[in-house]
């Protein structure tokens, strides 16, 4: 599957991918089958995009990796999630964060009644709170100078600033793999560009591997080196970002799409989300 | 101002601070785990009895009895959370409430059975039973009570602002799943909330026990925390303190009215009149959170 990506850099050839999801099946509430044999690989140091329509199971895939599935009464009933040689299936989210896998959840989910600084400290929850944490907070401010100026509650930040805080908070955990769920959601095109620029920079500067879930396929394929496209719980297409960008089907379904359609998707989404978050 | 009124106001502040302390303990559990703990008053009772028992049984200095009580309450709080409440996660709120009411009845009966129904005085703790402050005769235990209350409040403030566990607790209160995505263990947070809540309530229980003697009346003291926290807003720590002070003052002003106008037992019921009034006009309390809404 990921051969194309690996072939690009011969050095990576012998290496096992940092993350391998092997043929997993995920069931919610013991009955709702959402992922039906999904496999993907994320090589170390890369950005890999996971694309698909609403309800395809993208977020579910990320939660299966990060262990958050267990907080929603979901379960991996078949297959394995292997990260850095270890099977993550049975681990709780805390243990997985400690191993260096951090999910930036859809909708940012920052703690709104806490300050920016407190949110960043929370990101370092799995680390000892020492002087290194203070230094890392300064590093995050270096990437997001705008956050430094905001001294009030995080709930009053703009959508873009909240997304930056969510990413900054992830950095505080010193992750090796970030699972990023729709960072462009609800942002203006200019901000989307900025956020994606930052994602690329984190990957290049800090060597953080990123699995990027996106509705905005065009932007995602610009920063990613490889992409998977999923539909109703399965990968239906994968290839290098360049191949996917030029693929006719992908163009038609994910890159072309009129603004009209996207708008209606959004409505469905926010409705569904509210229901799920209760 | 006549001396009697002044005395009552001072009492009001001192008792109100204690309500505030127990209120904070109550809010801690509610905020962290959304459990309305109807057994909060029993924590006071248990704490006071345990402390009384260690002091009278082993004849040790007060400080040691007090420390033993704290350790005991910590363990008890964790045990109750793990054994009784953890299996109920995800059950309807009403079931959880019924269980805490059950706990309350269980502990009351158990303690009545173990220690009897009569009030028992604490062994003497202070050499001088009262001291003069600004020409006002104040019992030493009251002064201690003030110190203890302020110290606990300061500790809470520090805990939630600066400590890792405190931050984790606030995050869990705001968004459990997001907290878990940061690697916070919600189980750990719940257990810690119960442990701290039980310990802090026990401190209040010991203080009131030292003043009035230990008896099941202590859990009635705990019940008055409800008007306090509902006035302050169920999920606000600061609200609990302000609410506690207001209820304490109100109660003592009612006592003044009782004596002056011979209206009967206003002191006992005033807090509950206040409770009904608050629920009618400001159901979220003075400091209850409204979520930050932004589009
Ligand atoms: N906690 C849950 N319990 C039951 N079903 C769920 C749960 N979460 C998601 N689902 C269902 O699983 C399917 C996939 O959801 P998922 O959130 O993974 O999709 P997605 O690809 O992330 O969609 P979107 O682009 O809208 O975020 C949907 O049909 C959804 O209704
Ligand atoms: Mg999603």
Both tokens of A14, joined, read 């012998």
| A interface test, pick of B93, B171, B181 with most A CB neighbours within 10 Å | B181
Decide if pLDDT at A267 tops 60: no
Decide if pLDDT at B77 tops 80: yes
In a domain, B244, yes or no: no
Decide if pLDDT at B41 tops 60: yes
Name the band, by pLDDT with cuts 50, 70 and 90, for residue B178: very high
Q: Which domain holds residue B35?
A: 16-219
Task: Give the residue among A183, A213, A186, A181 at the shortest CA–CA distance from A197.
Answer: A183
> Which is the closest atom of ligand 1 to the Cα of A106?
27
Name the band, by pLDDT with cuts 50, 70 and 90, for residue A264: very low
| A interface test, pick of B176, B182, B190, B239 with most A CB neighbours within 10 Å | B182
Residues of B in contact with A178 (CB under 8 A): none
Which residue numbers of B have CB closer than 8 Å to A's CBs? 164, 167-168, 170-171, 174-185, 289, 291-292, 294
Give the pLDDT confidence score for residue B237 in this predicted structure: 85
Name the band, by pLDDT with cuts 50, 70 and 90, for residue B140: confident
Decide if pLDDT at A262 tops 60: no
Mutate to test the pocket of ligand 1, among A31, A40, A50, A58 (most ligand atoms within 8 A of CB): A58
Ligand 2 centroid from CA A231, angstroms: 13
In a domain, B88, yes or no: yes
In a domain, B295, yes or no: no
Both tokens of B188, joined, read 């750990």
> Which is the closest atom of ligand 1 to the Cα of A269?
26
Q: Which ligand is nearest to the CA of A271?
A: 1
Both tokens of A267, joined, read 């409505």
CB contact under 8 A, B178 and A126: no
In a domain, B288, yes or no: no
Q: What is the mean pLDDT of residues B195-205?
A: 94
Give the pLDDT confidence score for residue B50 in this predicted structure: 94
Pairwise CA distance, residues B150 & B146, whole Å: 6
Q: With contact defined as beta carbons under 8 Å apart, do B44 and B201 qualify?
A: yes
Q: Report the residue from A71, A113, A125 with minimal CB separation from B168.
A: A125
- pLDDT digit string, tens, across residues A162-194: 999 999 999 999 999 999 999 999 899 899 999
ipTM: 0.85
Give the pLDDT confidence score for residue A272 in this predicted structure: 40
Decide if pLDDT at B289 tops 70: no
Alpha helices in A16-74 (DSSP H): 58-66
Q: Which ligand is nearest to the CA of A268?
A: 1
CB contact under 8 A, A94 and B167: no
Ligand 2 centroid from CA A203, angstroms: 22
Q: Which ligand is nearest to the CA of A56?
A: 1
Ligand 1 centroid from CA A192, angstroms: 23
Please provide the size of chain A in residues.
Answer: 278
Answer left, alpha or beta for residue A212, where phi above 0 means left and psi between -120 and 50 means alpha.
beta
Ligand 2 centroid from CA A260, angstroms: 20
Decide if pLDDT at A275 tops 70: no
Pairwise CA distance, residues B201 & B198, whole Å: 5
- pLDDT digit string, tens, across residues A129-158: 778 999 999 999 999 999 999 988 999 999
In a domain, B282, yes or no: no
Give the pLDDT confidence score for residue B291 in this predicted structure: 54
CA quadruple A31, A34, A37, A38: dihedral positive or negative? negative
Which residues have CB under 6 Å of ligand 1?
Answer: A 28-29, 32, 34, 52, 54-60, 72, 74, 106, 215, 269, 276
Residues of A in contact with B175 (CB under 8 A): 109, 111
- In chain A the domains, ranked by start, together with CATH numbers, are 2-267 (3.40.50.300)
Q: How many domains is chain B built from?
A: 1
In a domain, B242, yes or no: no
* Percent of chain B residues topping a pLDDT of 90: 40
Give the pLDDT confidence score for residue A14 in this predicted structure: 57
Name the band, by pLDDT with cuts 50, 70 and 90, for residue B1: low
In a domain, B245, yes or no: no
- pLDDT digit string, tens, across residues B229-286: 888 888 788 888 898 999 889 888 887 777 777 666 777 777 777 778 877 777 677 7
Pairwise CA distance, residues B8 & B250, whole Å: 10
- pLDDT digit string, tens, across residues A101-121: 999 999 999 999 999 999 999
In a domain, B208, yes or no: yes
Name the band, by pLDDT with cuts 50, 70 and 90, for residue B290: low
């Amino acid at each position: 599957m990921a051969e194309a990506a690996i072939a690009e850099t011969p050095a990576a050839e012998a290496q096992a991918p940092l993350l391998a999801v092997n043929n997993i099946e995920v069931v919610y509430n013991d009955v709702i089958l959402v992922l039906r044999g999904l496999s993907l690989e994320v090589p170390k140091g890369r950005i890999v995009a996971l694309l698909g329509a609403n309800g395809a199971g993208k977020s579910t895939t990320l939660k299966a990796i990060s262990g958050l599935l267990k907080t929603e009464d979901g379960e991996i009933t078949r297959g394995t999630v292997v990260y850095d040689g270890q099977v993550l299936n049975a681990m709780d989210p805390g243990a997985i964060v400690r191993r260096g896998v951090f999910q930036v959840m859809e909708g940012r989910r920052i703690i709104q009644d806490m300050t920016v600084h407190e949110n960043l400290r929370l990101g370092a929850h799995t680390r000892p709170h020492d002087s290194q944490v203070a230094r890392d907070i300064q590093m995050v401010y270096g990437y997001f100078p705008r956050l430094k100026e905001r001294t009030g509650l995080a709930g009053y930040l703009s959508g873009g600033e909240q997304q930056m805080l969510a990413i900054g908070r992830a950095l505080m955990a010193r992750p090796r793999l970030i699972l990023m769920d729709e960072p462009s959601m609800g942002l203006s095109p200019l901000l989307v560009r900025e956020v994606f620029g930052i994602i690329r920079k984190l990957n290049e500067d800090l060597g953080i591997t990123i699995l990027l879930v996106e509705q905005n396929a065009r932007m995602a394929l610009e920063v990613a080196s490889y992409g998977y496209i999923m539909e109703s719980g399965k990968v239906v297409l994968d290839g290098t970002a360049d191949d996917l960008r030029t693929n006719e089907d992908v163009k038609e379904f994910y890159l072309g799409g009129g603004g009209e359609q996207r708008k209606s998707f959004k409505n469905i989404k926010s409705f569904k989300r509210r229901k799920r978050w209760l | 101002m006549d001396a009697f009124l002044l005395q009552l106001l001072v009492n009001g502040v001192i008792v109100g601070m204690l309500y505030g302390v127990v209120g904070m303990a109550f809010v801690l559990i509610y905020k962290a785990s959304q459990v309305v703990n109807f057994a909060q008053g029993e924590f006071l009772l248990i704490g006071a009895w345990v402390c009384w028992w260690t002091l009278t049984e082993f004849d040790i200095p007060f400080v040691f009895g007090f420390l033993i009580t704290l350790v005991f309450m910590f363990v008890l709080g964790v045990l109750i959370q793990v054994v009784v409440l953890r299996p109920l996660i995800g059950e309807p709120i009403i079931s959880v409430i019924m269980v805490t009411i059950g706990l309350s009845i269980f502990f009351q009966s158990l303690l009545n059975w173990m220690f009897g129904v009569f009030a028992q005085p604490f062994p003497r703790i202070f050499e001088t039973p009262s001291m003069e402050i600004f020409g006002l005769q104040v019992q030493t235990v009251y002064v201690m009570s003030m110190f203890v209350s302020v110290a606990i409040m300061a500790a809470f403030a520090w805990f939630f602002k600066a400590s890792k566990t405190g931050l984790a607790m606030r995050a869990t209160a705001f968004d459990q799943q997001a907290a878990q995505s940061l690697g916070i263990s919600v189980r750990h947070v719940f257990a810690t909330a119960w442990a701290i809540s039980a310990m802090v309530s026990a401190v209040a229980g010991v203080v009131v026990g030292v003043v009035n003697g230990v008896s099941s009346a202590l859990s009635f003291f705990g019940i008055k925390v409800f008007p306090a926290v509902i006035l302050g807003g169920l999920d606000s720590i600061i609200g609990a303190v302000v609410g506690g002070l207001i209820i304490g003052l109100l109660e003592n002003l009612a006592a003044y009215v009782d004596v002056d106008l011979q209206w009967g037992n206003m002191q006992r019921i005033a807090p509950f009149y206040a409770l009904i009034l608050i629920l009618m006009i400001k159901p979220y309390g003075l400091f209850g959170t409204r979520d930050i809404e932004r589009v």
